[in-house]
Structure 1
Amino acid sequence: MVTKSSKAERKSVYDQKLCKLLEAYTRVLVVSADNVGSNQLQGIRKGLRGDSVILMGKNTMMKRTIRAHSEKTGNTTYLSLVPLLVGNVGLIFTKGDMKEVSDEVEKYKVGAPARVGLIAPVDVVVPPGNTGLDPSQTSFFQVLNIPTKINKGTVEIVTPVELIMKGDKVGSSESALLAKLGIRPFSYGLIVQSVYENGSVFSPEVLNLTEDDIAQKFIAGLSNVVALAMATTYPTLAAAPHMFTNAYKNLLAVAVSTEYTFPQAEKVKEYIKDPSKFAAAVAVAPAAGSGGSAAASKVEEKKEEAPAEESEEEGGLFGLFD
């Protein structure tokens, strides 16, 4: 009876803690905790201490508490967390920047050996080079079809070898070889699987979005809205400038082809009747912009005139003394 009572008390304490966290926080990171040891988890807790709280527990218990709390408070936004509680997962409640929290969690990943029977989370490639193993160990490489040669009394791998592919189960030969080479190909830690905020659930990729990415996505969406509005002739604020421009072009085409006119078309019609006016208008801008060069040319003309006056004076002086 004592055991059952203590177990019920622990459940009650856990329920109360989870309910308080749900009320206090609106941002939650759902993380996978596969192959994460207790010491590693304790280090992560210390690193996040301040703005974030990690809560682990049985999925059934967390789901029951979330549903009960949602019914009690009438706040159904918490129910978005229930479908995410699958597998060995935990919850990181935070009031800080979720990107910074995710980066902090990433720091605590630790290397791990390739144990027999594990499913490889990444590709494992054995690099070429001297292994430091004596020639008697070549049987490992032969079993795995790894090309080697003997160099200075040790085994040397000739080319890079894809030893294990992502998703494959680690065999005994691969595990033994990687252990002999001192390669720890896998790393384990808390992995962010989903991002929850105020009832909305996002993929963890949103944490890596920059302002430029958001601006590009907005521009792409705006372009689609404009294209749809133009194709369906449905007026929108984004498409209005293009619609007005196209309407003006159509009216201008009618005015040019007929006697009909309006103020904005009169100048175009004048240019069509007398193209020289258009050429004169184009020439006005360069002339206006070359005021400095015109002034400079006037100065040069004056400089050219000055020697002529001096020659006359010289001629007068020469005649006087002559």
Structure 2
Amino acid sequence: MAASEHVVPQWKRDEVDHLISMIKKSKMVGLVDVGGVGAKQLQGIRDSLRGSAVLRMARNTLMIRAIENSKVKGIDDLSGHVIGPVALIFSDQDPFSLSKFLRENKTKAPAKGGQVAPNDIVVPAMNTGVAPGPFISELAALKIPARVKTGVIHITDDTVVAKTGEVISNALAQMLGRLGIEPMELQLKLVAVYTDGAVFTSDAFEVDLKGLLEEVVLGHQLAVNLSVNICYPTADTIAMIITRADLDAKTLAINVGFFVPEMVRQFLVKADSEALALAAVLSGRNPEAVSPEILARFRTPVAVAATAPAVSASKKKKPEKEEEKKEEGAPSIGSLFG
């Protein structure tokens, strides 16, 4: 008698065909870890994904067969990540956007004994709806203040029952469940994705966008500083380089005494400051060596023009003509550099 052939149930064939269809028409196919996620929480996550992605639960063997039979170029490596409690997720988003969306759309879940509190767990003041009895002693054992009011037990004050990082006891987990408090946060985590002909694991797209932006800003600042300091002109730094070069040239001209007409005011200010400094030294040795007018300037600074000697109108014209002749042949700041 011929060995009987194994017949694959029709529902399995239909499921594989459906998964293959989803794989072929999706820009991105991923695997998400659904370990520890209950049916209620999974439905909440499905609702939050509506319009962004489609989540599909199936047996691992069927998911592997669908991936391999889809004949999509480069997707075979995704089957190697179908391990443990995972589900397929289909989306037209890029992996970075989808991963960010999943991180930001967490769902609440009841606590279990032995779990670690993700945040401070607070039991708010409330009407428990429970009649007087052993329940009030259970609350007291957990240091939750309560009293009987209008025939039911009321929690009188908001109470922190577990701080961030503390282990939740079985008794506390049961109490939170009875009070309808779900302190745990669940999220789907991308394990691996297929997109643009290649498979990527979670470490490739779990990016700290805020930290990345800070690094980009810092890199730009360093690049600008380098460009200005080595005088490497770019569209972003040419104005800063020119401004710095102009300032350096003027500083050099002042320090070496290289006179240029457009800096006459700066030269006069420097000369006046040096003259006052010299007068201060002389007056310290011999007060009579310095005129009263100069001594007065130590106490009341005035403009350079106010200290210039008065000249008659008849004598003023000739120096102006001579100054004009000198300025015609005077060098510019640019001549400092050839």
Please classify the TM superposition score into its range, dividing by the shorter chain length.
0.5 to 0.7
More divergent stretch after superposition (191-200 vs 87-96):
191-200
How far has the Cα of 1:140 moved from its partner?
0.5
| Structure 1 partner of 2:138 | 140
How far apart are the structure 2 equivalents of 1:229 and 1:126? Answer: 58
Kept in 2: contact 1:122–1:166 (CA 8 A):
yes
How far apart are the structure 2 equivalents of 1:60 and 1:169? Answer: 36
Q: 1:166 to 1:214 in 2, by over 3 A?
A: closer
| Structure 1 partner of 2:34 | 33
Aligned-partner residue type, residue 264 of structure 2: E
Aligned residue among 5, 8, 20 for 1:6: 8
How far apart are the structure 2 equivalents of 1:164 and 1:245? Answer: 60
Q: 1:43 to 1:165 in 2, by over 3 A?
A: closer
Q: 1:66 to 1:230 in 2, by over 3 A?
A: farther
Aligned-partner residue type, residue 272 of structure 1: Q
How far has the Cα of 1:144 moved from its partner?
1.7
Q: 1:9 to 1:156 in 2, by over 3 A?
A: closer
| Structure 2 partner of 1:245 | 243
Look up the SS of the partner of 1:178 in the other structure: helix
Aligned residue among 203, 208, 212 for 2:206: 203
Kept in 1: contact 2:33–2:191 (CA 8 A):
no
Q: 1:150 to 1:45 in 2, by over 3 A?
A: closer
How far apart are the structure 1 equivalents of 2:163 and 2:59? Answer: 32
Residues 103-142 of structure 1 deviation map (CA, whole Å, 9 limit, x = unaligned): 6998895x55445566656543211344344254222123
Aligned-partner residue type, residue 270 of structure 1: V
Which residues of 2 match residues 18-57 of structure 1 at below 5 A?
A: 24-28=25-29, 30-36=31-37, 52-57=53-58
Residues 68-91 of structure 1 deviation map (CA, whole Å, 9 limit, x = unaligned): 989x84x48x85x67976653333
How far has the Cα of 1:26 moved from its partner?
3.4
- Structure 1 length normalisation: TM-score? 0.54
How far apart are the structure 2 equivalents of 1:115 and 1:164? Answer: 13
How far apart are the structure 1 equivalents of 2:122 and 2:69? Answer: 49
Aligned-partner residue type, residue 248 of structure 1: D
How far apart are the structure 2 equivalents of 1:3 and 1:167? Answer: 56
How far apart are the structure 2 equivalents of 1:108 and 1:254? Answer: 63
RMSD over aligned Cα, in angstroms? 5.4
| Structure 2 partner of 1:270 | 264
Look up the SS of the partner of 2:8 in the other structure: helix
Kept in 1: contact 2:24–2:70 (CA 8 A):
no
How far has the Cα of 1:67 moved from its partner?
8.6
Residues 217-258 of structure 1 deviation map (CA, whole Å, 9 limit, x = unaligned): 754432132235456x37363444433332322222122233
How far apart are the structure 1 equivalents of 2:266 and 2:103? Answer: 71
Look up the SS of the partner of 1:247 in the other structure: helix
Aligned-partner residue type, residue 244 of structure 1: I
Structure 2 unmatched runs, 5+? 270-303, 306-338
Aligned-partner residue type, residue 163 of structure 1: V
Aligned residue among 222, 232, 251 for 1:224: 222
Aligned-partner residue type, residue 245 of structure 1: T
Which residues of 2 match residues 108-257 of structure 1 at below 5 A?
A: 109=107, 112-115=109-112, 123-133=120-130, 134=132, 136-151=134-149, 154-164=152-162, 170-186=168-184, 191-193=188-190, 198=196, 201-203=204-206, 219-229=217-227, 233=230, 235=232, 237=234, 238-257=236-255
Percent identity (aligned): 24
Aligned-partner residue type, residue 223 of structure 2: V
How far has the Cα of 1:95 moved from its partner?
2.1
Q: 1:149 to 1:11 in 2, by over 3 A?
A: same
Kept in 1: contact 2:109–2:182 (CA 8 A):
yes
Structure having the higher helix fraction is 1
More divergent stretch after superposition (126-135 vs 44-53):
44-53
How far apart are the structure 1 equivalents of 2:37 and 2:88? Answer: 14
Structure 1 unmatched runs, 5+? 280-322
